[in-house]
Structures are given as structure tokens and as C-alpha cells.
Chain A
Amino acid sequence: MIDDRIDFSSLDPTEDRERFDDIVHSITEAAAGQLAARRARADVFAQLTSWWRPLLAAAVITGIVSIGALARSQTATTPAETEIGLAEAIGVPEQIADWVWSEEAPSAAELLVVLEEEG
């Protein structure tokens, strides 16, 4: 087959190696800022990736320990202790809490005595 290609070598920008190197250099120089920004982003991502697994493992362990402790504390207390503890926590006198949980109605005199003691 006859190669009838047209000789465009005078238009070839890579023909003059020195000049082509200058052209490439000017492009890479103009791209330097963009490349540095990409490297910085890639570094942050790599850091996050390297920390992600240990952080996840620590969170899972903390979660398991917390759930276990919570379960143990709930089984160790009786309902009555829980109720009184709650009344104390919100500032209700112990005697009044007892009446509430026992569904026993106090007399007016008993109520007065308890309130006076607290006051």
C-alpha cells in the first residue's frame, strides 16, 4: 500500500524537543496550584480513612460496654428502690412518695405534718 500521507512535520509541536518541553512546562506550571489542592484533598481523605476503622471500633466497644452496664444496673434495683429514687430525684418527700405508690390516701393531719417537717 502506498503511504500518501501529507507531511505536516512543519506543524508538529513536538518536533522541536526543547520548545515542546517549554510548552509542557508552562502547562504543568499553570496547573501547579490545582494539583497542590488535589494533593491536599487526597491527604485529608487518606487521614480520615486511616482513622475511620479505629474510631469505629472504639465506638462499638463503648456502645457494648454502656449497654452492658445499663442492663446490670436495671436488674440490680428493685421497683420500690427505683420509685423512691425517682421521687428523691425530683424533690418529692419520701413519705408522700410512699403514699403515691401505695395508693393509700393520707389524712389531712398526716399531710400537714409531713409538709411542716419538710418545710
Chain B
Amino acid sequence: MSDALLVERARRGDAAAFESLVRQHYRAAYSVALAVLGNGMDAEDACQDAFIKALERLDEVRKPERFVAWLMQIVRNRARNLRNYRRVRNAKPLETVAAAGPSNPGADAERSELRGRLETALGDLSEIQREVVLLHDLHGWKHGEIAGALDISNGMSRQHLYNARKLLRERLGVSTLEEYSND
């Protein structure tokens, strides 16, 4: 079902349509939030906040077929607000903890360590580089989709991806990436 139809139904209070929008776009939203905030837990908070905010403001969507680009703006704003709040309050330092409860302590510890290293390495990129590399390599979008959602050109998307990957490889080391990609 298209985004336009799902948005129309969600506007009328259709819970299943709203859930479909969440399921379809959560990973993209998470990628953008993670790019801004730098850790998974905060990114999850920002995503939940953003989806609720998006529902509240759903009547403002003028082009429902471009819902995802509109949603990404909300996610980015909510993530930046949360980041500023964290900075001001300094109540919760950025941490690289595992998001899930441990079901297999050994594997989870390894996964948690990798997550931490990836998040640290991502911290050395610019926000736009993080957004592009996560949307491309984590979420699986193509440059056209990234360009549309982030309001940049295809060429810039390619450039950011190239630079981001190069920096990440330098930070993480080829062996680390190979080790994990063989999992």
C-alpha cells in the first residue's frame, strides 16, 4: 500500500495504517536519529517521539506521497532537540550500551562491542555523512531516495557516502569490517 493511502487512512485514525507507516519507515528514521545523536538508545527515544509528533501533525502533510521526506525532517528536529537537551542537562552521558536485553551473553557482548565501535567511528563523521552512510548502508536506500529525503543532490549523496566510508574504514580498520561482515 502506498504512503499516500496509508497517510490518508492514518489521518482518519486507522491504527493499522499508522502501524504500517511506522514499520516501513522506522529504520530510515532510526538511521537519521542515530546520525544526529550517536547512540542507539537515544535514537530509539527520538524515533518514538518523532512518530507521535508526526501523527499529531499529519494534517499538515501537503504531499502524502512525499511523507518520508517530511518524516525525516521531524526525526532530525526531534533528535537535535534531544541532543541539545542532553547537552544542557548533562544528566545522561552518551553511552554505547546494548539496546536489547541479553539472551546470549557471549554473542550479545560481541555485538554490543561492535555497536560501540561503529558508533564511536560514526562520531568522527559529519552529521550529513552519517545520515547518508546509514540511510544507504543500513537502511538500503539508493542515492535518489536519499537525495529526496535529505533535500540534497544525487551527486552530493554519492560524495558524502564515499567520504563517510573512507573515514569509517580508516577508523575501524579493514580487518574489523571484514571480521564483522563475515558473521
A residues sitting closer than 8 Å to B (CB atoms) are 4-14, 16, 19-20, 23-24, 26-28, 30-32, 34-42
| B residues in contact with A42, CB < 8 Å | 12-13
**Residue count of chain B within 8 Å CB distance of chain A:** 42
| B residues in contact with A34, CB < 8 Å | 52, 55-56
Contact B30 A13 (CB under 8 A): yes
A-B pairs with beta carbons under 8 Å apart, 22 shown: A7-B181, A7-B183, A8-B134, A13-B43, A13-B99, A19-B99, A23-B47, A23-B48, A24-B23, A27-B22, A27-B47, A27-B51, A28-B22, A30-B52, A31-B18, A31-B52, A34-B56, A35-B10, A36-B13, A38-B10, A38-B11, A38-B13
Query: Please, which residue of chain A has its CB at the minimum distance from the CB of B164?
Result: A6
Determine which of B15, B26, B48, B52 lies in contact with A20 in the assembled complex, contact meaning CB atoms within 8 Å.
B26
- How close is B141's CB to chain A, nearest CB, in angstroms? 12
| A residues in contact with B169, CB < 8 Å | 6
The docked-state distance in angstroms from the alpha carbon of A9 to that of B181 is 9
Contact A35 B55 (CB under 8 A): yes
Interface residues of B in 49-103 (CB under 8 A from A): 51-52, 55-56, 99-100
- How close is B143's CB to chain A, nearest CB, in angstroms? 13
Contact A14 B26 (CB under 8 A): yes
The docked-state distance in angstroms from the alpha carbon of A95 to that of B90 is 98
| B residues in contact with A35, CB < 8 Å | 10, 13-15, 18, 55
The docked-state distance in angstroms from the alpha carbon of A35 to that of B17 is 10
Whether A11 contacts B40 in the complex (CB less than 8 A), given A35-B15, A37-B13, A38-B13, comes out as yes
- How close is A99's CB to chain B, nearest CB, in angstroms? 70
- How close is B4's CB to chain A, nearest CB, in angstroms? 17
Contact A23 B115 (CB under 8 A): no
Contact B138 A11 (CB under 8 A): yes
Per CB-CB distance, the 4 closest pairs between chain A and chain B, nearest first, are: A39-B13, A38-B13, A8-B138, A7-B181
The docked-state distance in angstroms from the alpha carbon of A4 to that of B47 is 28
- How close is A25's CB to chain B, nearest CB, in angstroms? 9
Contact B15 A28 (CB under 8 A): yes
The docked-state distance in angstroms from the alpha carbon of A41 to that of B119 is 44
- How close is B174's CB to chain A, nearest CB, in angstroms? 11
Contact A11 B56 (CB under 8 A): no
Query: Please, which residue of chain A has its CB at the minimum distance from the CB of B180?
Result: A7
Determine which of A9, A23, A27, A38 lies in contact with B12 in the assembled complex, contact meaning CB atoms within 8 Å.
A38
| B residues in contact with A6, CB < 8 Å | 133, 137, 165, 168-169, 177
Contact A8 B118 (CB under 8 A): yes
The docked-state distance in angstroms from the alpha carbon of A19 to that of B103 is 12
Whether A5 contacts B136 in the complex (CB less than 8 A), given A19-B100, A28-B22, comes out as yes
| A residues in contact with B177, CB < 8 Å | 6-7
Query: Please, which residue of chain A has its CB at the minimum distance from the CB of B118?
Result: A11
